[in-house]
C-alpha cells in the first residue's frame, strides 16, 4: 500500500485513535479480570488455525480485556493451540520477549533503539517490530473529599508526584481551582511498582509539558510517594485512600467510579480525560518506526483545543523474521486473527473500535510477512 507520508502518518494516528475506546469503555477493574469476553462476540468462523501446543506471551495489562476476547475466540476455533497471555506489565513483557521466553509481547511503549538491537539476537536474521493495536487516555484519578471537579496542569502534577507539593490546599492547586473547597489534607501520590509503559507515557508527559526533573522511563524515578502493582493496584489505592492521586488507564477510573482531573494545557478550557479528547491529541502523532515498524511519537505538549495529552498506544511486539519454528505458525495465525476484521469487530461489545482500513492494512501486511 503506497501512501504519501502525510497521509500515512495521519492513518497511523487515526489507527491508534480508533481504538481509544477500548480503555475508556471496557469494564475493567482489575489486571486479573477474568472472563472479560464472557458471553462476548460470536466465535469467528474463518480463523486460520496453524500450529499446535501452547503459545506464551506477556506484557501490557492495559490490553488484557482485549486479549481475553481474542484468546477466547481464537481458542474456540483452534482447539489444538493454547494462547497464554500474562498481563505482567510492559517492562516485564518486553524483557521476557527479549530473553526469548515468549512468542510476542504487549507494550504501552514502543521499543527503544537498544531493545531493537537486542531483539536481533532473538529474531535471527530480523528484528522486533511494533504493531499498534490498542490506545487510549491515561487518567489522573484522585480521592479528595468534597472536590469533584479538580483542575491540574503538568507543572503542578510534576511537583505533586515528586513530593514537592504536599497538601491539597497548596497555593498552586488553589490557583487552578479558585472555586473549589480544597481541604488541608496530605497528598498521597501512588505510582506503579512494576516497570510500566503507562509510567513511561505519564512521565514523558510530565517531562515535555511540566518540567519533570527525571528522565522518562518505565521504572518510576520520582521522589517519595507510595507504590502499588499494576493499574489495578494503584487505582485500588486511590479508591480507598483519602488524599490519594495516581495515574492509570481511564477504564479503571470508569469501573471504580474514581473522579479524574481535567488538565490545563494552555487551551481556552481545561481538558477532560475522555476518548474523544485523547483522540484529538493522538491525531498529532507522527510515525517514527522505519519500514514495517509502526511505532508512533505522541505529542504530549499539545495545546490544541479539547486535546487530552496524556495518552498511550499499546503495541504487539513480534519478530518480523527469525521466529522459532515451533511457535511461528501459531504466532502468525494469532496475530493475523487479532488484526483481521473479525479480530477487531469481536471487541465491539467491550467498547473497542476496529482499526481503520489504512492502519489495519499495514499491520496485516507486516504480519503476513512474519517468518
pLDDT of residue 347: 56
Whole-angstrom Cα distance, residue 165 to residue 187? 8
| pLDDT at res. 363 | 83
Q: Exposed/middle/buried for 39, CB within 10 Å: 0-12, 13-18, 19+? A: exposed
CA distance 77 to 85: 17
Residue 209 in contact with residue 106, Cβ under 8 Å? Answer: no
Convert 88-110 to b/e letters by CB count within 10 Å (16 or more is b). Answer: bbbbbbbbbbbeeebbbbbbbbb
Q: What is the pLDDT of residue 75?
A: 94
Give how far Cα 120 sits from Cα of 95, 99, 114, 193, 319, Å: 14, 11, 10, 29, 9
Euclidean distance between CA atoms 138 and 52, whole angstroms: 37
Phi and psi dihedrals of 203, rounded to 5? -75, -25
Rounded to the nearest 5°, which phi and psi values hold at 159?
-75, -35
Please count the CA atoms within 13 angstroms of the CA of 247 that sit on its side-chain side. Answer: 30
User: 10 Å Cβ neighbour count for 304?
Assistant: 17
Nearest by Cα to 90 from 191, 12, 200: 200
Query: What is the dihedral angle through the alpha carbons of 261, 269, 297, 253, rounded to the nearest 10 degrees?
Result: 20
Mean pLDDT, 10 residues at a time, the chain of 371 residues: 40 39 34 38 71 94 84 94 94 96 95 95 96 85 97 98 98 98 98 93 96 95 95 96 95 89 97 84 82 90 94 91 96 94 68 56 90 95
32 secondary structure, DSSP code: T
Dihedral sign of CA atoms 283, 284, 288, 290 in order: positive
Q: Give residue 21's pLDDT.
A: 38
Identify the pLDDT of residue 5.
Answer: 40
Q: What is the pLDDT of residue 358?
A: 65
Amino acid at each position: 500500500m503506497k501512501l504519501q507520508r502525510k497521509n500515512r502518518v495521519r492513518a497511523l494516528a487515526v489507527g491508534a485513535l480508533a481504538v481509544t475506546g477500548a480503555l475508556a469503555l471496557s469494564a475493567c477493574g482489575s489486571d486479573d479480570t477474568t472472563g472479560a469476553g464472557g458471553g462476548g462476540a460470536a466465535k469467528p468462523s474463518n480463523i486460520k488455525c496453524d500450529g499446535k501446543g501452547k503459545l506464551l506471551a506477556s506484557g501490557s495489562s492495559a490490553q488484557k480485556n482485549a486479549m481475553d476476547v481474542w484468546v477466547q475466540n481464537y481458542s474456540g476455533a483452534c482447539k489444538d493451540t493454547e494462547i497464554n497471555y500474562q498481563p505482567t506489565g510492559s517492562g516485564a513483557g518486553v524483557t521476557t520477549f527479549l530473553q526469548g521466553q515468549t512468542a510476542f509481547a504487549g507494550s504501552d511503549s514502543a521499543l527503544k533503539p537498544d531493545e531493537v538491537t537486542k531483539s536481533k539476537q532473538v529474531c535471527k536474521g530480523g528484528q522486533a517490530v511494533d504493531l499498534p493495536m490498542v490506545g487510549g487516555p491515561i487518567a489522573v484519578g484522585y480521592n479528595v473529599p468534597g472536590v469533584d471537579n479538580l483542575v491540574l496542569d503538568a507543572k503542578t502534577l510534576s511537583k505533586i508526584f515528586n513530593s514537592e507539593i504536599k497538601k491539597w490546599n497548596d497555593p498552586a492547586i488553589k490557583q487552578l481551582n479558585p472555586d473549589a473547597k480544597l481541604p488541608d489534607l496530605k497528598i498521597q501520590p501512588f505510582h506503579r511498582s512494576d516497570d510500566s509503559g503507562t509510567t513511561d507515557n505519564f512521565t514523558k508527559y510530565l517531562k515535555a509539558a511540566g518540567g519533570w526533573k527525571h528522565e522518562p522511563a518505565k521504572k518510576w524515578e520520582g521522589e517519595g510517594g507510595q507504590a502499588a502493582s499494576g493499574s489495578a493496584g494503584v487505582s485500588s489505592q486511590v479508591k480507598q485512600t483519602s488524599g490519594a492521586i495516581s495515574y492509570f488507564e481511564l477504564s479503571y477510573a470508569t469501573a471504580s467510579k474514581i473522579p479524574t482531573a481535567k488538565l490545563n494545557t494552555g487551551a481556552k478550557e481545561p481538558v477532560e480525560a475522555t476518548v474523544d479528547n485523547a483522540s484529538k491529541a493522538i491525531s498529532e502523532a507522527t510515525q517514527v518506526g522505519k519500514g514495517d515498524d509502526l511505532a508512533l511519537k505522541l505529542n504530549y505538549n499539545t495545546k490544541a483545543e479539547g486535546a487530552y495529552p496524556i495518552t498511550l498506544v499499546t503495541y504487539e511486539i513480534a519478530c518480523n523474521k527469525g521466529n522459532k519454528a515451533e511457535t511461528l505458525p501459531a504466532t502468525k495465525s494469532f496475530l493475523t486473527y487479532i488484526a483481521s476484521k473479525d479480530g477487531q469487530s469481536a471487541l465491539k461489545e467491550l467498547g473497542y473500535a476496529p482499526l481503520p482500513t489504512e492502519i489495519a492494512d499495514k499491520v496485516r501486511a507486516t504480519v503476513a510477512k512474519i517468518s
